[in-house]
A and B are shown apart, each in its own frame.
Chain A
């Protein structure tokens, strides 16, 4: 094992696999039903869990009446506070890779913190029996009526935001207060984004099995290593005794990064019954206890001179969090890096509400923060009577002003120009309502996009097999984004072995530890580890080849290169598989761990983009539609432009959801009103605008030898702002609270 921290070498020249548009290598498996998603798993002797959850938002569970349910056919047991195993909470530490979604253990006490909180788990011989019995469990509550589910109602509309300040989130440079006071142009506005839910296609599920004292959990997880570590802490057993498997994931968007209580209660039930237990979280509960993007309230103050130069930026954020699990979305966190401005101050606050724990949702923090900042800039441009794109260009940050470091690679200016040109921004009439087409009024809006380009530590295994195939293994996941495919492309690029002959293994915590599939860091993190592991294996092969009696006996190892699946030295070459067969070896493999080096302290890593939106507003019938979205993004090198573009397209659609539709609503009693796929409105096919995405191709070799940053999230940032800015251009109405619903358009 080696640890590679030195400056990465470039991989460039002619690429044959990296940078090619490759369809997903797991596509056929998915289309033919061969992909084993967590809930598809059925183990011998398996039983089924079905949860019972609280129907009040706050109070105490006084009694559970179980007799009727226990007498139902097929029921094996019912788990709840009084008979549950005594466990320890996970330390819930990101750095130690054991962070969980809800820190509270299931059934830990009889307090009710939120509607949808688990109060019992019924286990029966079939799903139908478990569900029927779960409905016969009767709960008695002592209800408190002082529940809080709406942080927007707490806002006075002026001055400080509600909630507790998080001191660690605050940062500042210069003197923002005085600069704002003395600025000739001032803007002070509040913005909000409603509680959004991930609404994943594949439902959350755990299938847990104990064999001897080893626990295996099949889970739909974006982080098998995190879940393995957390379960080990909770059960007080060594990590080696826990395996978490998640071969395929039908989307997660952050809701599957950190473990939720259903996995713990399912594992306990499996241990107690001595049989495997499968629990699929019911759709309606997914909206309540597997995380969500918290409602956020923001205040942005901008000070500028008459030329549009930013003199001050204040960005205060506030998001809701839960007694069941703390989540700080840090919505203002990225703001200090976004524009060149000497005086900047940001803060964040938290309000605890009676809802389940919020969690990361695609571009957490930044998607919300960018909405506020980029809308505020549009408002500033209106005050200045300046083109919003020009305003941004005027304040371009040549280096990262927050860290005072150069960018590793920044092509934002080209993104702005490229997208503006493709979109036809120069045809924009800045006067609201001036562009018309029949019944419709057209509006144009734009925003800057951005997401930090992180890289984490990672281990991987790489093997050459005697049948000519390769094995590449890493304990990360493919959440549908194409990780299997880009790992295979990279292995193919390095070895010349065709992609069809590469066996990629992911989604298993017993493999060398890989990163979460989140934060857009999986690509930049995993590929260097794969490369380092390949080099380890290659060194072994060279040793074999140069051994006594070998093809390359007496040849200098450094002269041997790897090409088209062969070891080559001068005119001599041997197929690697042949070399292995000659030596009667089935597999030569290597393992390596990699992590970012000191470039981390020398540069700032960030992806940027620009998004332009055309909306159409038909005032006669109050109909608003997004007609066209044009985005240009710089993500370093796209390993697979097909899947990378697809990530941006999907992000745009999600941004439309944030801007136009998505909102979980709680009524005055703390009752979640629309926690179903039918009632929670997301964009559907008929809403799809014309989407045109272009990825710039500037490899960022400071990030890694492949020049790849990540792509999962940057495309979402700015979309809601560009929509609301376009809506202003069409209607003259400035909607600062997302989503832009019909009633808000009618009211303003």
Chain B
């Protein structure tokens, strides 16, 4: 058996200051990603730091109206929290569309942000994969890539970011609070996940030794909100394409709109080109379709995932339609 050291920490400074800064260490929260990957031999931490007892389990409204969510709030608690259900329904819906009840009860907010791609080649140590072993090549580009990304890809990696929650957060707008040996810093949620580029092993802007302590959601954007997740079966499957939409209307015109996409991109994807098409325009089917076209302007299809471009556009159009209907009340 691979031996590893397990350390349970009770305080945040313990968690960060005790960490020797090298990648043989991993935090564990709910364990629903980490344990699988350890058992598959994909992640091989020498030391596991159990952060599940840290006092990061609260959801509180800040004076400026933003909502501060502790990294250890479970996906279920976050989705079912009354403020989230009322002011951030797009996030609640996104969370509830993910995984299963049992998994959501275990999964933490921080762990969800940090979950890793479901690319089967990544999850099989026998296969070449640039993300798992830089420089070995990408098996998916020449292999089967049905579940892979069409946006934000590179010649080195085309893996999708699997999270639903993160898509809801990009739409709602959020900031990550990180605590490290050198103190605290904040990163805009959208800037946190990285495009694969030529270093797909670098997935996010978390420095060695840093811990996600909170996600702070922007003050509520009101408006109509909707998260639509499209997949083969009705539940318990990652998105083939998903869209989080928040629409504010001024009469029949769209005054503000936020669109984020999942299942089609290498990171939780802000569809700003589509937003630009819509801003100030009438909320019509034609405009929704144009926005959808704009969102996938730069899309690159691989041998098996071309249908995701169509599906992604459909997700945008329908999510916009339903968010608009919700905005009209």
Contact = CB atoms under 8 A, between A and B. Distances in A.
Interface stretch (A85-93, A246-254, A659-667): A659-667
A742 B307 contact: yes
B236 A742 contact: no
A668 to B, nearest CB: 7
A201 to B, nearest CB: 15
A622 interface: yes
A621 B230 CA distance: 8
A625 B234 CA distance: 8
Given A132-B2, A742-B307, A621 B318 contact: yes
Chain A binding surface, main DSSP class: loop
Interface stretch (A36-44, A207-215, A322-330, A678-686): A678-686
A676 interface: yes
A404 interface: no
Contacts of B317: 620
B310 A746 contact: yes
A665 B303 CA distance: 14
B118 interface: yes
B232 interface: yes
Interface in B62-101: none
Nearest to B234: A686
B236 A665 contact: no
A668 B142 contact: yes
Interface string B211-242: 00000000000000000101011111100100
Given A681-B233, A742-B232, A746-B310, A128 B315 contact: no
A425 interface: no
Given A55-B126, A678-B118, A686 B311 contact: no
Interface string A478-521: 00000000000000000000000000000000000000000000
Interface in B270-329: 304, 306-307, 310-311, 314-315, 317-318
Nearest to A129: B1
Which of B228, B233, B237 is the most central at the interface, judged by chain A CB atoms within 10 Å of its CB? B233
Q: Please classify how large the interface on chain B is, using the bins under 10, 10 to 19, 20 to 34, 35 or more.
A: 20 to 34
A49 B304 CA distance: 38
A649 to B, nearest CB: 17
Interface in A634-690: 660-661, 665, 667-669, 671, 673-674, 676, 678-679, 681-687
B46 to A, nearest CB: 14
Interface residues of A, number: 38
Nearest to A115: B126
Interface string B117-146: 010100101110000000000010011101
B1 A681 contact: no
A28 B235 CA distance: 30
A621 B228 contact: yes
A55 B144 CA distance: 17
B144 A623 contact: no
Contacts of B230: 621-623, 742
Nearest to A625: B234
A673 B144 contact: yes
A741 interface: yes
A687 B235 contact: yes
A681 B232 contact: yes
Contact of B233 (A73, A676, A684): A684
Chain B binding surface, main DSSP class: loop
Contacts of A74: 1
Nearest to B127: A671
A571 interface: no
Contacts of B126: 55
B143 A673 contact: yes
Interface in A668-726: 668-669, 671, 673-674, 676, 678-679, 681-687
Interface string B141-153: 0111010000000
B60 interface: no
A676 B120 contact: yes
Contacts of A96: none
B120 A674 contact: yes
Contacts of A679: 118, 120
Contacts of B304: 743
A233 B236 CA distance: 45
A110 interface: no
A16 to B, nearest CB: 42
Contact of B139 (A131, A625, A671): A671
Contact of B307 (A668, A676, A685, A746): A746
Which of B120, B142, B144, B317 is the most central at the interface, judged by chain A CB atoms within 10 Å of its CB? B120
A687 B310 CA distance: 23
Interface string B29-58: 000000000000100000000000000000
A681 B238 CA distance: 11
Contact of A686 (B2, B142, B233): B233
Contact of B318 (A128, A620, A682, A747): A620
Given A621-B318, A622-B310, A746-B307, A661 B142 contact: no
B1 A660 contact: no
A284 to B, nearest CB: 8
Given A742-B240, A747-B307, A685 B232 contact: no
B227 to A, nearest CB: 13
A48 B144 CA distance: 35
A3 interface: no
Contacts of B127: 55, 671
Contacts of B307: 742-743, 746-747
Contacts of A685: 235
A742 B311 contact: yes
Interface in A284-321: none
A135 interface: yes
B233 A661 contact: yes
Contacts of B232: 660-661, 681, 741-742
A547 B127 CA distance: 77
Nearest to B236: A684
A686 B143 contact: no
A668 B142 CA distance: 8
Interface in B104-125: 118, 120, 123, 125
A540 to B, nearest CB: 54
Contacts of B233: 660-661, 681-684, 686-687
A318 B152 CA distance: 42
Nearest to B143: A667
Contacts of B2: 132
Contacts of A741: 232
Given A681-B232, A683-B233, A747-B307, A73 B143 contact: no
A669 B317 CA distance: 38
Given A135-B41, A679-B118, 5 more contacts: A73-B1, A132-B2, A622-B311, A742-B230, A742-B307
8 contacts: A126-B1, A667-B143, A669-B143, A681-B233, A682-B233, A686-B233, A742-B230, A746-B307
Interface of B: 1-2, 41, 118, 120, 123, 125-127, 139, 142-144, 146, 228, 230, 232-237, 240, 304, 306-307, 310-311, 314-315, 317-318
Closest 6 pairs between A and B when the two form their complex, measured CB to CB: A686-B235, A128-B1, A686-B234, A667-B143, A743-B307, A55-B126
